[in-house]
Amino acid sequence: MAIPRYEPKSRVLPKAGERRVPSASPRSRPVRRLSLGMIGFVLVLGIAGYALVQARGTHRMVETVIDIAAPRDKVWAILSDFSAYGDWNPYFTSVEGVAEAGAQLRVTHGNPGGEAIQIQPKIQRLIEPQEMRWLVNHWPAGLLDGHHVILLESLSVEATRLHQAERFSGLLAAFGSEGLFEKAREGFEAMNAALKARAESP
C-alpha cells in the first residue's frame, strides 16, 4: 500500500516592508457591534443631556421673601445668633460656628417630610446687619453647589423685609427634580414664618 505523499499548502509570504492585515474572525463581529452600540448610546445620552442643559440652564434659583414688623437690628440679632437656632428654626435646626466672613459652619437642616441633612457651608460674605452669604457643596464640587443668601431690607424704623434665596449650580442643577427645589422652598418659607413670629414677639 502506497503511503500518500504530504504536500504542504502553499502560502503567499508578505513582501518586504508590507504589513499583513489579519482577516476578521467571526467572533470579533459581535464585539464590534456591542462597541458601536455603546458608542451610539453614549452619544445619544450626551446629546440629550446637552439639550436639557441648554433648555434649563446649569443653575436653579429658589427665592422667598417676607415682611416682618420689627426693626432690622432685631431681626439680624436673631439670625446671627446661631446657638439659639434650635429654639425657633424649623429648617436650620442646628448651626455650629460663628457669624463672620470666612467661618466654616456645621449646619443640620431638615426638609419638610424628609430626613435631616448635615452640611458644612463656608460664609463667603457678611455685612452686619443686612447680608449673609454662604457656599455649600451638596455633592462633590461642580455637581451641585448651593449659594445661599439672606438679605435684610429696612422698610422703616419698625419694619424689615427678609429675602432668603439659594442658587443651585452644577450639572445636577439641570437634572434635579422639581421636588428637590420645592422642598428647599418650603423649608425657607417655614423658617421665614418662624423668624417673623420670633422677631414680632414682645
Give the pLDDT confidence score for residue 141 in this predicted structure.
63
Least confident span in 28-37, 126-135, 185-194 = 28-37
Looking at the domain assignment, is residue 35 inside a domain? no
Judge residue 160's burial from the number of C-beta atoms within 10 Å of its C-beta, 0-12 exposed, 13-18 middle, 19 or more buried: buried
Looking at the domain assignment, is residue 5 inside a domain? no
Looking at the domain assignment, is residue 85 inside a domain? yes
Which stretches of the chain are DSSP H helices?
28-56, 72-80, 85-88, 171-175, 178-200
- Give the pLDDT band (50/70/90) at residue 170: confident
Beta bridge partners of 153: 161
Return d(Cα 176, Cα 180) in angstroms, integer: 7
- Give the pLDDT band (50/70/90) at residue 202: confident
Report the CATH number at residue 177: 3.30.530.20
Greater model confidence, 90 or 176: 90
Looking at the domain assignment, is residue 16 inside a domain? no
Give the pLDDT confidence score for residue 14 in this predicted structure.
57
Looking at the domain assignment, is residue 183 inside a domain? yes
Q: Would you tell me how many other CB atoms lie within 10 Å of the CB of residue 96?
A: 13
Confidence check: pLDDT of 166 > 60: yes
The reported pTM is 0.69
Greater model confidence, 47 or 140: 140
Give the pLDDT confidence score for residue 34 in this predicted structure.
62
Looking at the domain assignment, is residue 149 inside a domain? yes
Average pLDDT, the chain: 81
Looking at the domain assignment, is residue 51 inside a domain? no
Looking at the domain assignment, is residue 75 inside a domain? yes
- Residue 29 grid cell: 463581529
Q: Dump pLDDT digits (tens) for 27-66.
A: 555 556 667 777 765 565 445 444 444 444 567 899 999 9
Give the pLDDT confidence score for residue 18 in this predicted structure.
60
The total number of structural domains in the chain stands at: 1
Q: Would you tell me how many other CB atoms lie within 10 Å of the CB of residue 136?
A: 17
Least confident span in 18-22, 107-111, 123-127 = 18-22
Greater model confidence, 78 or 48: 78
Range of the domain at 103: 58-200
